[in-house]
Structure 1
Amino acid sequence: MFASAPVAAADQIREMQWALEALNADSVWKISKGQGVTVAVIDDGVNSSHVDLQGNVLEGKDFMDGGSATPDADDDHGTAMAAIIAGHGHGADAGVIGLAPEAKILPVREFGTNGPGTDVAIRYAVDNGASVINVSQCFDSTSQEELDKVSTAVAYALSRDVLVVGGAGNDGDSRKCYPAASPGALGVGAVKNDGQIWENSNSGAHVALTAPGTNIVGAKGKGNGYRSGTGTSDAAAYVSAAAALLRSKFPDLTAGQIANRLVKTAVLPDTEKGLSLPDKSYGYGIIQPLSALKDDIPAGSKYGPLTVPESLKEKSAAPEAGTSDEEQEKADQKAMLIWAVIAVVGLAVIGLIVLLIVKRSRRNRNSNGGPGGPAGYLQYGQQPVPPHQNPYQQQASQQNPYQQPTPPQGQWPPQQ
């Protein structure tokens, strides 16, 4: 998905990783490094023997040739993505360090047209312990059947609480790219080091977030070398790493609620602060993993800002598992209406009981020779009875909580 160039000296690598500074990595790592989280990298294989990845790569699976998910001699893409996510660097000032350096990588070698398909790879990753799946590949197939297979696999992942992150595409237009455009996936665009959209980053409704994606240093597929790449692939890898940080810090949050924290803390560069969100190029903005880890953000609904696949909508019987915050609010309103009806019926029953008691008391008094007639009693209905205050009845907003008319006043790159 991007062009790459070799990078020579290892001791220059760390200072070339501008994205780490832009994302406040040093402060982020004081809170989370992704420990205990497995990120699947569906790609052309991962060089597990690279000095910056040793110990962080699991066995994985090769759907192309069988055996381990080892890349061919000229294939660097998957290894670069793995290093961006979970490289640990081999020295204080040398090597690639990922944004989530203590996460584990599950390599799944499946790419191009000769394998069983991305859908098979996604299902394998879900069934083998990944809680985040990075797909820095992009398909715009003419076969609707193939696209449906991928989208069904994304729905399968979401049904098992696994977040799928995909690159939005490098065509510089508005075409949809899968699995980024699949319902339930998190599509990612790329920005440059000034926060502006990279000119070849695809736009459209499938772009949910953006992240650094130009001149990104990664590890090579053979030996211990390095390379530099540009594209939405790299941006997707950074978002996958940010998701791993959050899954480690907040293990009880759902995949959608993890996406919610990323969305609610994303920012725009000052030059773009007049945009209405989600924007077709930026989505909800550029990720801010430090804020996503630190800010007090309500968990939100199960699926958060993710578009919910139809298959999951059908299976969601409870309102709490709604398709979005907006639909959750509608469900809440329905519940409020039910409680209001119950309250009115309850008042009517109470009123009837009071009326019967009053009539019976009057009858008893008359039979005992006491004062009778309406003059001696306050008749029910003379004074209006204040309605019972239903504690659940409150005005619920119809506005999408992710729609922000006034974008955050974020600064890019952010201040430490």
Structure 2
Amino acid sequence: MDFDVIVLGAGIVGVSAALHLQDRSRKVALVDRGAPGEGTSFGNAGLIERSSVEPYPFPRSPFTLMRYALNRSTDLYWHSASLPAFAPWLARFWWESAPMRHAAASRDMLPLIERCLVEHDALIARAGAGELIRANGWLEAFRTPAAFERGVAEAGLTARRHGLGITPLDAAALLAHEPSLAPGFCGALHWLDPKSVVDPSALVKAYAQLFVQNGGTLLTGDAASLDALSPGWQVNTQDGTAAAPAVVVALGPWSDTVFVKFGYKIPLREKRGYHMHYAPSAQGVPSAPIVDREYGYVIAPMRRGLRLTTGVEIARRGLPPTGVQLERAERIARPVFGFGERLDPQPWLGFRPCTPDMRPVIGPAPAHRGLWFSFGHNHHGLTLGPVSGRLLAEMMTGETPFTDPAPYRADRF
């Protein structure tokens, strides 16, 4: 089985890269050990986050750091035995989050964020997946007046600087806008530009089906079996060995199973997170995802029910689920959102692939011809999958990239 490119990973990032390469007349094989959209892309809040013009930094407030140190918060939970392994990565994350370096990361990420909706909209139209999309933005809700006032001031500056639409809602306006809510929030910011997805896994599957319909090959295989030829690359699949002059590693948090094998020391770590679906309130469901800003969870209306997604858990990838954050968030969220019983037999556990400088790795491997990377999109894999696919395909086919890819190069570490 000979191809022009093998893409390893059938999540949103890998499927998008495969589509953009296919659009440029490349014969592409998409290889994963499971079905498309069943890994990290399966569990998220479903946001195409056009308004996220600043990456999530390491907190620098002493009050916040003390709260996290007590390990009782909802938005962060850390596993004590895992901290030594994460310490160097966290130290680099803290250093990169200093104001000037964080501002530089924001500038570097802006070209990708600015094109995220355009690229998604094009694929959504081609895949006939419009029924999965809601153009209602999202709401950033606050519980205390002081936090709400700060949020309004900061968001206003951001919106004006980047031409984003935003509507502040006081408590009464919020309840009028979202009648399914019970009292509990003192106000919210309605970000108007983002879109949401009612079934992220189904969206990835729709994109993958488009790839297959256009002549792409979807294979089941083990990315860890990747080997270098002379020249080119090969990987074992259930249908035999697939070979190509070029290969793309788009395995999200599992990308290290490949790049470490070839000697690359990229500081990619996973932030764990959970979700659970609940029966909706008798009063209905929110019109858009709602972030409880002060407790760090999201409630998103999905096909299956109301999805609660948690904040960050710092724990090694192989450790069993703890469920601590989900239980904490559930207790806080239920009085306001009024949801009913759990609908899933057990919480879903996923891994967000993150780099400490808050930028993905997109581009060629420095020391291996034909080896390409696209991973480490932090909390925005769903948002940035299609635009990353375009940038990577432009680089691989010799087109002029729509933006300078230097900030995402693999050798920057």
The interval holding the TM-score normalised by the smaller chain is under 0.3
TM-score scaled by length of structure 1: 0.25
TM-score w.r.t. the length of structure 2 is 0.25
Structure with bigger RCO (C-alpha 8 Å, 6+ apart): 2
Q: If you compute each CA radius of gyration, which structure gives the higher value, 1 or 2?
A: 1
Instruction: Identify, as 1 or 2, the structure richer in strand.
Output: 2
